[in-house]
Structure 1
């Protein structure tokens, strides 16, 4: 379905205070969207909001724990009231702690699935009525190449696999309403998560990055902008025939 000129292009980006989420928010603002950002602490979003304002695409920054259904719903209501009904959603908020299976607590399991898997469910459910009303929408779910397996992170891997199935089901259900849903699954990207991995191994990030680059066919690790280029396309009017897909933004084939 081709969007008409009346479609409101307001985006909601979760986990947008820093890193990949902030980069995506800035890119979408540069593409002409009004961008409302959600993160745990509203004040942490100050730099992102300043960049969005400079690009002319600022919408509210709202504090919300994405694993809290009521908080996510209230955040979307606030963004819609300030900037118009959202028709673009990018679910980026996520965590990836590491623990062996026998050491992993039930609390860690619940926390990871609550943020990484339930969060996108709550956000999509809050936003999709606006998309259905507009007969147009774009949903992008950030998953990970770890969905194919990652020793020491069964909670994270389980959530990422779930996100892929969730995305495909969204595409099937919402496609008749002019709404697409796709997942981006990055490999090694410079981020808070990969910096945390370096710390766990007792390495400087520079050394950790250098080691990774030795096995990467293209000779470098990913950068946040590698994600934003893909995101920009998937939320564009030109991506209307791309739905239910997992786009691996990776340095080579993902097994």
Structure 2
């Protein structure tokens, strides 16, 4: 079995040495074989499962965070509609951003284990994937593929992948498009902590809203970063 040793730098998005390209998207090399198998199963079922995103660096997540905190990118409500951030307190703005976007250092995309997917067979080649709730409802353009994935996961045929944000637990909004490779993600979950995140964010002077984030970090970590082990497919956690 492939070595799944992870470091703090990998978990924080500061080490991409374990990454390889999958159809042009960087991911951890450990997920390439199971992802290839999942895509092959999807093809047999009539779907073309493709990646919108995979690995994301600390610096990229920091840029996304700051753009949202400064109003240069939309901040969305739970239904996917843009908010007027000028009406929000700093605490409200932080929570609104974290409903859809992670703090730098706290994104599962840092790990290379997590991917955002869509069905290329369901849309024209020039379609711009938005990753919105409307796209992935049962009636949405990608609904059929996600219903198929529901069945695969329920029957233990997901090749180790699962949805960490399948339901609303009061933190990150449900993201049907977000898949995670359990054996690697569980290892990363064992390394990430509120203490590690605090140490890193304390050193990032360019993080917008940093003082307010640090003041609430333990609460934010519990609400938006922690994914209960009960959400993982038990048979694949054992592989870690």
The two structures have a TM-score, normalised by structure 1, of 0.28
Compare the two structures and name the one with the higher helix fraction. 1
TM-score (norm 2): 0.30
Q: Which has the higher strand share?
A: 1
